[in-house]
Amino acid sequence: MLFSLAAAAAGWGMAWRAYRHADKGYAEPIAVAAPPVYSTLLNKYYVDEAYDYAFTGRRKVGDMRLGVMGAGEASSWIDSNVIDGTVNGAGWITRFSGTLSNWWDKWIIDGVLVNGPAILARLLSYPARLVQWGLVQWYALVMVAGLLGFAFYYAWH
């Protein structure tokens, strides 16, 4: 305890001796004698600056931040470019495959495979409609004409 009190008294005495004539134009004696030492002590051994560079990232190292803010910027970039890019790419692929599937279903499955035979049957029915009127008398006349045609054909050969 005596050593602590002696150190405090010595420090107080040195400070009193150095600052007793201090006024507005006063220059620190250490600043005059050793400017680099004074600058280092004034800036607290640059611990706060190093902390800002390494841990908080408030100060940049070149174009890049370290520390928490640097991790935040890196996370934001990864989210914006990698994660969102992957999600947007998956969405684009899903929309494209849905559009392609819709086109395939509409034009190939429904258009060609389902409606195609129906359209073909309808087109082939038009010539058949010319001879099929639904009149039994007409059908009988055509059958009699056909039988007579066969009879004459076999009679000539």
Structure tokens that stand for 100 in this block: 């392609």
User: Can you give the pLDDT at residue 27?
Assistant: 81
Where residue 149 falls among pLDDT bands split at 50, 70, 90? very high
The residue written with tokens 């008294």 in the block is 9
66 φψ region: left (φ > 0), alpha (ψ -120 to 50), beta (else):
beta
User: What is the overall mean pLDDT for the chain?
Assistant: 90
Position 139 scores a pLDDT of 87
Exposure letters 7-21 (e unless 16+ CB within 10 A, then b): eeeeeeeeeeeeeee
Is residue 76 a contact partner of residue 87, using CB atoms and an 8 Å limit? Answer: no
pLDDT confidence of residue 135 = 86
Provide the token pair at 19.
């600052």
Tell me, what DSSP letter sits at residue 60? E
Nearest partner of 41 among 51, 26, 29, judged by Cα? 29
Amino acid at 75: S
Global pTM value: 0.46
